[in-house]
């Protein structure tokens, strides 16, 4: 009869165990020095060697001539302990023997001396499954055991074991076996079994096993039966209900370009083909995690926005437990994807060739940006900003050419924009703002574009946006060019917005005022914006003008 690989290659002595070096060293020394105690607790993830080491330890302490803490394998005790008929090494599955009666029966047999070996060893697997009554029945025996008894309790969930039991045991925490160690062990098994397999497959098996060597050997066993020739990555993906790397990248391309229709189609396609959607999204999450880590560790460039990847990984990770427990994981996953894409796609750009189309949640176009047409529109704008306009602008700067009621105008604009402020519109305007980057080096309007990009968009409504600058001098400079800034912004982004320019300090005041009004249940009222009233432009020599207004605090007047 065929024997499973994890059974066939189960270690029979301490030297064959991999991945638990510290525990092996401690146990070997205790055997060598005869300082082992009456009760042990082994806890850790599944498939990390708890039961295997329990059996090896049981044989080692009963060996008549152990060498460096390792059983000789030749004495009568070693031979007897390896036989299934040995009555002095007893394995108990606590999952199916968890009642008080079973533990009471165990207590009645504990007093009996070993039949063949020096010590009678009880290995209780999954001990956390015992009932409270059973733990209480076991407690007295653990507290005052006969000299010939050794208990080894193994569990994957030590939190469910009472502290009174744990405190009477010598505890060992089994760690997950490293990916490199699992790969090395798998290669050894493949050589022995003459299994042809790609190294990439071994790595994927090791990663998917999550530190459990038994699980890794189980997957290798299935793959060996699945493929008659050399085992490839596609075999691994097909057998485990996963998708290939090219399919994964295709999914991510559609996801991060916010193509909801294509993403939902792919999810449906995976489901029809019988793929495991939970495993697929775990696979996607791990792949994105690797991109993110490589970006931060080695500054490796990614194909997708780093913030979007982090957001999606967090979204799936936070909901993975609910996905697994859901009655219909496919629907749960679809709703998560729709939520993620709608939060971005409702006000995001969908790039198609040279056109940028922004859609609302209802599917209606907000604006379409055609680069070729827009370049022509901006060129017309450049012609409109004539040399004469620039001369006038310089004359205004050299004097005090701001409208006399500019503070009132900006104040009304800020009020009206906040009255109808909308977060979704703000997101949209921030994305439109990125279009300005294409014109920063334009010889005619580049200086205006750079002035816009120096600002921070604070609020937006259908009518306008609020920009803030760190320094008052920037605010004044851009107020002088405000109409030109508005024209440039609207032409490049295909918008029709008014702009209010204020300082960061002013924005903080307006924001606090807005929050206070909202808390008090008050609403901003729309106000009529006054017309611009310009003071007479001073055309005197710059020295006769207001030098302080021009140069700020660096000027001293005598």
Architecture label for domain 5-173: 3-Layer(aba) Sandwich (3.40)
pLDDT recorded at residue 384: 56
Token pair listed for 117? 């070996």
257 vs 556, higher pLDDT: 257
The two beta strands, 464-469 and 498-503, are parallel
Write the DSSP symbol of residue 458. E
CA 402 – CA 537 distance, rounded (Å): 9
* Chain-centroid distance, C-alpha 449: 36
* Chain-centroid distance, C-alpha 23: 33
CA 150 – CA 54 distance, rounded (Å): 11
Of these ranges, 98-102, 262-266, 540-544, the one predicted with the greatest mean pLDDT is 262-266
Distances (CA, A) of 249 to 97, 215, 233, 286: 49, 27, 16, 13
Domain spanning 179-239 has what CATH number?
A: 1.10.8.60
CA 426 – CA 434 distance, rounded (Å): 13
The two beta strands, 149-155 and 120-125, are parallel
315-318: long-range contacts, CB 8 A cutoff, minimum separation 24: 315/339, 315/340, 316/281, 316/284, 316/285, 317/285
Domain spanning 245-345 has what CATH number?
A: 1.20.272.10
With b meaning 16 or more CB within 10 Å and e meaning fewer, what string describes 459-480? bbbeebbbbbbeeeebbbebbb
Rounded mean pLDDT of 363-376?
A: 49
Write the DSSP symbol of residue 197. B
Give the lowest-confidence range in 339-348, 355-364, 507-516. 355-364
Residue carrying the six token digits 């060598």: 32
Q: Is-contact 326 332, C-beta < 8 A? A: yes
Residue 150, pLDDT > 70, answer yes
**Helix, strand, coil % in the chain, rounded to nearest 5:** 55, 10, 30
Cα angle 81, 114, 16; round to 5: 25
Query: How does pLDDT run across 200-233, given as a tens digit for each residue?
Result: 889 889 888 888 889 899 989 888 888 778 888 8
| Distance, first Cα to last Cα, the chain | 107
Rounded mean pLDDT of 147-161?
A: 90
All structural domains of the chain with their residue ranges: 5-173, 179-239, 245-345, 371-384+402-534
CA 135 – CA 70 distance, rounded (Å): 32
pLDDT grade, residue 403 (50/70/90)? low
pLDDT grade, residue 274 (50/70/90)? confident
Give the lowest-confidence range in 338-352, 363-377, 458-472. 363-377
Percent of the chain with pLDDT over 90: 16
CA pseudo-torsion sign 551, 553, 554, 557: positive
pLDDT recorded at residue 268: 92
Query: How does pLDDT run across 25-78, given as a tens digit for each residue?
Result: 999 999 888 888 889 999 999 889 899 999 999 889 888 888 888 888 888 888
107 vs 545, higher pLDDT: 107
pLDDT grade, residue 377 (50/70/90)? low
Token pair listed for 135? 């733990």
Residues 6+ apart with CB under 8 A from 297: none
Distances (CA, A) of 316 to 33, 168, 326: 51, 41, 14
pLDDT recorded at residue 378: 56
Q: Coil, helix or strand for 467?
A: strand
Residue 322, pLDDT > 70, answer yes
pLDDT recorded at residue 512: 87
Query: How does pLDDT run across 220-269, given as a tens digit for each residue?
Result: 988 888 877 888 888 888 888 888 888 889 999 999 888 889 999 999 99
CA 323 – CA 147 distance, rounded (Å): 51
Rounded mean pLDDT of 426-430?
A: 87
349: left (phi over 0), alpha (psi -120 to 50) or beta: beta
272-275: long-range contacts, CB 8 A cutoff, minimum separation 24: 274/241, 275/241, 275/242, 275/243
Residue 376, pLDDT > 60, answer no
pLDDT grade, residue 535 (50/70/90)? very low
Distances (CA, A) of 230 to 196, 199, 217, 224, 262: 5, 11, 17, 9, 34
């Amino acid at each position: 009869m065929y024997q499973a690989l994890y059974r066939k290659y189960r270690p029979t002595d301490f030297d064959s165990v991999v991945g638990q070096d510290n525990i092996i060293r401690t146990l070997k020394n205790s055997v060598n020095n005869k300082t082992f105690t009456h009760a042990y607790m082994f806890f850790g993830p599944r498939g990390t060697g708890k039961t295997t080491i329990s059996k090896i330890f049981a044989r080692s302490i009963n060996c008549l001539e152990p060498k460096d803490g390792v059983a000789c394998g030749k004495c009568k005790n070693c031979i007897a302990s390896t036989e299934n008929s040995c009555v002095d090494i007893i394995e108990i599955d606590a999952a199916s023997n968890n009642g008080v009666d079973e533990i009471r029966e165990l207590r009645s047999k504990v007093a009996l001396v070993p039949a063949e070996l020096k010590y009678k060893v009880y290995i209780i697997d999954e001990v956390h499954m015992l009932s409270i009554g059973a733990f209480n029945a076991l407690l007295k025996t653990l507290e005052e055991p006969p000299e010939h008894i050794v208990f080894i309790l193994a569990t994957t969930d030590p939190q469910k074991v009472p502290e009174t039991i744990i405190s009477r045991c010598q505890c060992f925490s089994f760690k997950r076996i490293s990916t490199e160690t699992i790969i090395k062990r798998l290669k050894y098994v493949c050589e022995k079994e003459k299994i042809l397999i790609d190294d990439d497959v071994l790595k994927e098996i090791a990663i998917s096993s999550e530190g459990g060597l038994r699980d890794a050997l189980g997957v290798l066993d299935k793959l060996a039966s699945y493929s008659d020739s050399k085992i490839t990555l596609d075999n691994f993906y097909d057998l485990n209900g996963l998708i290939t790397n090219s399919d994964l990248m295709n999914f991510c391309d559609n996801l991060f370009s916010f193509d909801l229709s294509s993403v939902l189609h792919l999810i449906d396609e995976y489901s029809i083909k019988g793929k495991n959607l939970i495993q697929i999204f775990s696979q996607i999450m791990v792949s994105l995690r690797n991109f993110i880590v490589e970006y931060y560790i080695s500054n490796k460039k990614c194909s997708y926005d780093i913030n979007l990847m982090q957001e999606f990984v967090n979204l799936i990770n936070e909901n993975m437990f609910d996905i697994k427990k859901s009655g219909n994981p496919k629907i749960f996953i679809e709703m998560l994807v729709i939520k993620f894409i709608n939060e971005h796609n409702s006000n995001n750009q969908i790039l198609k060739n040279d056109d940028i189309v922004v859609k609302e949640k209802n599917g209606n176009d907000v604006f379409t940006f055609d680069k070729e047409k827009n370049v022509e529109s901006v060129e017309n704008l450049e012609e409109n900003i004539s040399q004469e306009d620039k001369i006038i602008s310089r004359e205004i700067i050299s004097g005090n050419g701001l409208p006399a009621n500019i503070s009132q105008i900006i104040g009304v604009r800020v009020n009206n924009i906040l009255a109808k402020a909308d977060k979704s519109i703000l997101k949209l305007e921030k994305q439109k703002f990125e279009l300005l980057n294409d014109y920063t080096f334009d010889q005619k309007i580049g200086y205006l574009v750079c002035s816009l990009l120096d600002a921070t968009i604070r609020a937006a409504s259908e009518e306008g946006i609020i920009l803030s600058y760190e320094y008052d001098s920037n605010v004044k400079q851009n107020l002088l060019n405000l109409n030109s800034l508005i024209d440039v912004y609207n032409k490049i982004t295909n918008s029709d917005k008014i702009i209010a320019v204020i300082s960061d300090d002013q924005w903080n005041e307006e924001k606090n005022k807005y929050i206070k009004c909202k808390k008090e249940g008050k609403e901003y009222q729309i106000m009529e914006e006054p017309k611009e009233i310009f003071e007479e432009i001073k055309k005197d020599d710059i020295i006769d003008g207001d030098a302080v207004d021009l140069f700020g605090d660096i000027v001293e007047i005598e």
